Amino acid sequence: MEHYPVYLSLRDKRVLVVGTGECALAKLRLLIKTPTRIEVYGFDPIDDLIALSAAGHIHLMHRDLGANDLTGAQLVYAAQEDDTLDHAVAQLAREHGVLVNIVDNLRHSDFITPAIVDRSPVTIAIGTEGAAPILARQIKAHLEEFLPRSLGHLTRIAQKFRPKAAGLPYGRPRRAFWSDYFLKKGPQAYDQDGETGAQDALDTLLHQHLNCERGEGYVSFVGAGPGDPELLTLKARNLLHQADVVIYDRLVGSGILELARREAQLVDVGKTGFGPSTPQDHINDLIVEHARAGAHVVRLKGGDCTVFGRLDEEIDALDAHGLTWHITPGITAASAGVAALGQSMTKRGRNASVRFLTGHDMKGFADHDWESLAKPNEVAAIYMGKKSARFVQGRLLMLGASPQTQISIVENASRSDMRILETNLGDLVETLRSNDVTGPALIFYGLAPRQAQSLSHTQNMEFA
Ligand code: SAH
């Protein structure tokens, strides 16, 4: 370890940056987060530096660095992107005993700035002594994803609460309290009610821990996206890391469940349209039961939990018991499907609105304003549409839709076994049947895959 990591206090200090271009700007982005006086030496600053100066973050000196400037300076950055000039600055700094960094020149620098994950006051510095910057960037990216944005706020709030928490016996009880706050209640409360929420959570938690009470549970409704684990939101991923119990649907893939905390209890309440299913009442009871027992329940639903997910019934059940809940949206299957088609859901001059509709509801086939959908240039994403395809087709044709209306079927959108079928309204039922579409599938009414579109365009041109 040639470079020894320390955290340097820059409160009321002076840091000098020599250079007025992009290279200086890159260093300033981090420096301006510190409570230091930053002096920037050189002429003709770029616009971004002028803006930083106007905002009061830096002092533009509009002249060269002089020997006198170094008296009392804490650090110097030589950032003129010119070896000779930068070395001259470094020499001057060293003569005055000030540590200097020549930007992107590890060998001739007294110190280096690591990659930083900033959740101030929690800051994580990652350095590889110049050996593998790409690795540092990757580690940083992982940590950025993993650590909730609210961590800094939570830590600052916790800092003030430390004297009160000292009321708990030292050791395990105090650790359990802080772990409950930082890993569970704190992020939830902050998500829901901001700083006040987190402060209240601390008071409640302290009371519970002092009285050895088991706290009340909490339910996070989470959209798991269309299947590809990379289409999970960061929030969903973090919640999965925190959950005590995960209650999930059939559409949630194993790749996603693997992200749950190892100790979490996984409960499958899979349902298949028209097929065997866990009755909704039973699902409601399960969620309520676990939450009342004090668990953090993640109710994981495929796609977005607010789209054809019977979310309201579950919320009503929780409200009836006064239990707290929160919704984290996800990417709905229509978004993944249309992306696979290379199309937009809305398009200027074609359709200014798009419908998400279901082919069947609890009572059977679902009725809609088929008449307006049968007009030209309408677009709809039809969920759970396989069984009701004949009904949908019949209604639309009867109300004047052209049998040539373009239709795309996207089965298993975003998954490795995704299939795209191109057809038209007249052939919809036959296409579904002859291709044996067994996975979850979306029917896009009024949209063809872009590639096919350009292909048929070329073919037409050839015939022309
Ligand atoms: N909440 C989910 C929809 C649940 S309804 C969402 O927002 O996506 C279930 C229907 O969604 C399925 O019958 C199918 O029509 C559609 N669906 C879900 N996942 C899908 C996927 N990966 N590919 C295609 N369709 C999907």
**Which percentage of the chain shows pLDDT scores above 90?**
75
Indicate which residue's Cα is closest to atom 24 of ligand 1.
Answer: 441
CA distance 124 to 462: 61
DSSP 273-341: TTSSB--HHHHHHHHHHHHHTT-EEEEEESB-TTSSS-HHHHHHHHHHTT-EEEEE----HHHHHHHHH
- Other C-beta atoms within 10 Å of 117: how many? 19
CA distance 201 to 154: 11
Q: Specify the range with the lowest mean pLDDT, choosing from 217-226, 341-350, 353-362.
A: 353-362
Per-residue H/E/C for 377-427: CCCEEEECCCCCHHHHHHHHHHCCCCCCCEEEEEECCCCCCCEEEEEEHHH
Atom number, ligand 1, closest to the C-alpha of residue 301: 1
pLDDT of residue 363: 67
pLDDT of residue 303: 96
pLDDT of residue 156: 93
- Of the candidates 268, 275, 321, the one whose C-alpha atom is nearest the C-alpha of residue 299 is 268
- Of the candidates 330, 184, 339, the one whose C-alpha atom is nearest the C-alpha of residue 248 is 330
Task: Say how many Å lie between the CA of residue 302 and the centre of ligand 1.
Answer: 7
pLDDT digits (tens, 9 = 90+) for 97-137: 999 999 999 999 999 999 999 999 999 999 999 888 899 99
Task: Say how many Å lie between the CA of residue 384 and the centre of ligand 1.
Answer: 7
pLDDT category of residue 214 using cuts at 50, 70 and 90:
low
pLDDT of residue 272: 54
Q: Is the CB of 253 under 6 A from ligand 1?
A: no
Position with higher pLDDT, 266 vs 191: 266
Q: Which residues contact 286 (CB under 8 A, 6 or more apart)?
A: 247, 267, 269
Indicate which residue's Cα is closest to atom 13 of ligand 1.
Answer: 384
pLDDT category of residue 251 using cuts at 50, 70 and 90:
confident
Indicate which residue's Cα is closest to atom 5 of ligand 1.
Answer: 308
pTM of the model: 0.70
Mean pLDDT of 164-175: 84
pLDDT category of residue 368 using cuts at 50, 70 and 90:
confident
Task: Say how many Å lie between the CA of residue 275 and the centre of ligand 1.
Answer: 15
pLDDT of residue 454: 46
Task: Say how many Å lie between the CA of residue 335 and the centre of ligand 1.
Answer: 10
Identify the CATH assignment for 334-461 out of 3.30.950.10, 3.40.190.10, 3.40.50.800, 3.40.50.720.
Answer: 3.30.950.10
Q: Is the CB of 225 under 6 A from ligand 1?
A: no
Q: Is the CB of 432 under 6 A from ligand 1?
A: no
Hey, what's the torsion of the CAs at 367, 369, 375, 379, to 10 degrees?
-70
pLDDT of residue 7: 95
pLDDT of residue 457: 38
Omega before residue 121 within 30° of 0, cis: yes
The residue to mutate among 388, 408, 442, 443, having the most atoms of ligand 1 within 8 angstroms of its beta carbon, is 442
pLDDT digits (tens, 9 = 90+) for 252-297: 978 899 989 888 899 999 855 555 678 999 999 999 999 998 888 9
pLDDT of residue 253: 79
pLDDT digits (tens, 9 = 90+) for 430-457: 999 999 999 999 999 999 999 755 444 3
Q: Is the CB of 60 under 6 A from ligand 1?
A: no
Beta-ladder partners of 125: 116
Edge-to-edge strands, sheet with 37-41: 59-60, 37-41, 14-18, 75-78, 99-102
Residues forming the active site:
249, 271
User: What is the DSSP pairing of strand 406-411 with strand 441-445?
Assistant: antiparallel
pLDDT of residue 460: 33
Atom number, ligand 1, closest to the C-alpha of residue 415: 22
- Of the candidates 289, 299, 290, 294, the one whose C-alpha atom is nearest the C-alpha of residue 240 is 299
Q: Specify the range with the lowest mean pLDDT, choosing from 27-41, 205-219, 341-355, 376-390.
A: 205-219
Q: Which residues contact 252 (CB under 8 A, 6 or more apart)?
A: 224, 300, 301, 302
Residue 462 has pLDDT above 60, yes or no: no
Atom number, ligand 1, closest to the C-alpha of residue 305: 1
Mean pLDDT of 187-202: 91
pLDDT of residue 261: 83
pLDDT category of residue 90 using cuts at 50, 70 and 90:
very high
pLDDT of residue 423: 97
Q: Is the CB of 337 under 6 A from ligand 1?
A: yes
pLDDT of residue 216: 72
- Collapsing DSSP to helix, strand or coil, 222 comes out as strand
Task: Say how many Å lie between the CA of residue 77 and the centre of ligand 1.
Answer: 54
Q: Is the CB of 413 under 6 A from ligand 1?
A: yes
Q: Is the CB of 414 under 6 A from ligand 1?
A: yes
Q: Which one-letter amino acid corresponds to residue 267?
A: V
Fold of 14-113: Rossmann fold (3.40.50)
By the 10 Å C-beta count (0-12 exposed, 13-18 middle, 19+ buried), 174 is classed as middle
pLDDT digits (tens, 9 = 90+) for 294-339: 888 999 999 999 999 999 999 999 999 999 999 999 999 999 999 9
pLDDT of residue 263: 82
For the stretch 260-265, contacts whose Cβ atoms lie closer than 8 Å and that sit 24 or more positions apart, written own/partner, are 260/298, 264/240, 264/298
CA distance 216 to 302: 26
- Collapsing DSSP to helix, strand or coil, 270 comes out as coil
Sign of the dihedral through C-alpha 10, 12, 18, 21: positive
Q: Is the CB of 446 under 6 A from ligand 1?
A: no
Q: Is the CB of 78 under 6 A from ligand 1?
A: no
Mean pLDDT (the chain) is 91
Q: Is the CB of 226 under 6 A from ligand 1?
A: yes
pLDDT of residue 54: 97
Indicate which residue's Cα is closest to atom 6 of ligand 1.
Answer: 303
Identify the CATH assignment for 218-331 out of 1.10.357.10, 1.10.10.60, 3.40.50.970, 3.40.1010.10.
Answer: 3.40.1010.10
Cβ-contact 332, 223 below 8 angstroms: yes
- Of the candidates 231, 232, 284, 285, the one whose C-alpha atom is nearest the C-alpha of residue 260 is 232
Task: Say how many Å lie between the CA of residue 171 and the centre of ligand 1.
Answer: 48
Q: Is the CB of 251 under 6 A from ligand 1?
A: yes
Task: Say how many Å lie between the CA of residue 419 and the centre of ligand 1.
Answer: 14
Residue 213 has pLDDT above 90, yes or no: no
Domain locations in the chain as residue ranges: 14-113, 151-210, 218-331, 334-461
